[in-house]
Amino acid sequence: MKISARNVVEGTVEGVEEGAVMANVKIKIESPDVITAIITKESIKDLDIKVGDTVKAIIKSTEVMIAKE
Amino acid sequence: MKISARNVVEGTVEGVEEGAVMANVKIKIESPDVITAIITKESIKDLDIKVGDTVKAIIKSTEVMIAKE
Amino acid sequence: MKISARNVVEGTVEGVEEGAVMANVKIKIESPDVITAIITKESIKDLDIKVGDTVKAIIKSTEVMIAKE
Amino acid sequence: MKISARNVVEGTVEGVEEGAVMANVKIKIESPDVITAIITKESIKDLDIKVGDTVKAIIKSTEVMIAKE
Amino acid sequence: MKISARNVVEGTVEGVEEGAVMANVKIKIESPDVITAIITKESIKDLDIKVGDTVKAIIKSTEVMIAKE
Amino acid sequence: MKISARNVVEGTVEGVEEGAVMANVKIKIESPDVITAIITKESIKDLDIKVGDTVKAIIKSTEVMIAKE
């Protein structure tokens, strides 16, 4: 299956912090970069996301901003 | 200035393709990864974004999804 | 591959209108509903999206709003 | 009032799960489809959203991705 | 009709610039502030948005970031 | 540093309500308008956001919808 989202980066889950509804997942993409994803706690369970998993972070290109000095 | 967006990645602009209203910017973060950002043509002009510029890609963590095999 | 996005709806492409950078894709999910997706022209080419294709519309749950009379 | 969001789907609330700040709302659009919306708990109160309500799910078209086998 | 989006600001359209698929709309909320909205050209036609119209800019609170010096 | 996000509005924090993962921040932009931002609790700590702070609300223009009577 291919997805229209232009940004797909593989990494390893290094932290999952759950709230009542949402969860904060830290994905290490390569030292020292870490991507933060806020997803539902429901997805955490459905995909069984846990520390050490290899996952893909997916970001639609319309969501990316650019900053310049 | 600090921003609440959790994902800020530095890279180099390697392509800018402009339409009438929007523009597609390719940011090389490190070989071979490239981030795609769709921003307004207006921002391209305002920030004077061109190939070779060092920029930061900024992504709010609520916009990041996760996929797992 | 499973994705954290909670909303995945299968449908048929019934229209693709391309601009220079973005494209407007109409996906018929079931008569008479049609979902509109604005994605990059680049994705249209990469996934070879054309009228009649069976595709999935994917929407992260944090992007859904609710209105009530 | 008309809204620029291209995707407006009517359905029935079949579940509301509240956290401290956010809430997960399940909207049945037609058997067997359910749309998941993550909205503020504040909106749940302001709109008085409860199971059995007829509501509209609203999604801006730039937030819709497409996947294809 | 009430919407779950927490940010609804009334203003006046002071500019509409159309591309093939998307359009850039400038909404004056009060001197000297202007909000920029990128919406489909299709919505411009459907809502008949033109300079001088009184409109509401609507923003889901999960899309708002915060910066601090 | 300049950012591609077209909407940057200065205001004063008048409320911070924290959940386990997310936080709801109220930013008074000028009487009587208040902007609601849902950001991570992590950002609240990292930027040390508290009532009375002068902050900027930042919104990418692709996230702004328009409604018209």
Q: Contact C67/E4, CB-based, under 8 Å?
A: yes
The verdict on a CB contact (< 8 Å) between A53 and B68 is yes
A7-62 fold: OB fold (Dihydrolipoamide Acetyltransferase, E2P) (2.40.50)
Q: Which of F34, B57, F7, B35 is nearest to E67 (CA)?
A: F7
Q: What is the pLDDT of residue F29?
A: 87
CATH 2.40.50.100 fits C7-51, yes or no: yes
**Residue C7 in contact with partner chain E when CB distance is under 8 A:** no
Residue D57's closest chain C neighbor by CA?
C66
Closest CA to B67 of A17, A54, A36: A54
Task: Tell me the CATH number for domain D7-59.
Answer: 2.40.50.100
CATH tag, B9-50 = 2.40.50.100
Give the pLDDT of residue E31: 62
When CB atoms are compared, the residue of E3, E4, E42 closest to D6 is E42
User: A67 Cβ partners below 8 Å, 6+ apart?
Assistant: B8, B47, B55, B56, B58, F1, F2, F3, F4
Task: Provide the β-strand partners of residue F30.
Answer: F33
Distance (Å) from the C-alpha of residue C4 to the closest C-alpha of chain A?
5
Q: What angle do CA D42, D46, D49 make, to 5 degrees?
A: 95
CB-based contact B38:F62 (threshold 8 Å): yes
Extract the runs of DSSP E, i.e. beta strands, from chain C. 2-3, 7-18, 22-30, 33-40, 54-59, 65-68
> What ranges do the domains of chain E cover?
7-61
**Averaged pLDDT for residues A20-43:** 89
Could you read off the pLDDT tens digit of each residue along chain B, which spans 69 residues? 789 999 998 899 989 999 999 999 999 987 668 999 999 999 999 999 999 999 999 999 999 999 998
Is the pLDDT at F31 greater than 90, yes or no? Answer: no
What is the ipTM metric for this complex?
0.90
pLDDT digits (tens, 9 = 90+) for C15-62: 999 999 999 999 998 766 899 999 999 999 999 999 999 999 999 999
CA angle E19, E21, E26 (to 5 degrees): 55
Q: What is d(CA D10, CA E22) in angstroms, rounded to the nearest whole number?
A: 26
Of the partner residues D30, D55, D63, the one whose CB lies closest to the CB of residue C68: D55
Choices 3.40.1110.10, 3.90.1300.10, 2.40.50.100, 1.10.540.10: CATH for F7-60? 2.40.50.100
The residue count for chain F: 69
Predicted confidence (pLDDT) at residue C69 exceeds the cutoff of 90: no
CATH architecture designation of domain E7-61: Beta Barrel (2.40)
- Cβ pair C20:E20 closer than 8 A: yes
Kindly state the DSSP code that residue F60 receives in the 8-state scheme: -
Q: Work out the pLDDT band at A26, boundaries 50, 70, 90.
A: very high
Q: pLDDT of E4-56, one tens digit each?
A: 999 998 899 989 999 999 999 999 987 668 999 999 999 999 999 999 999 99
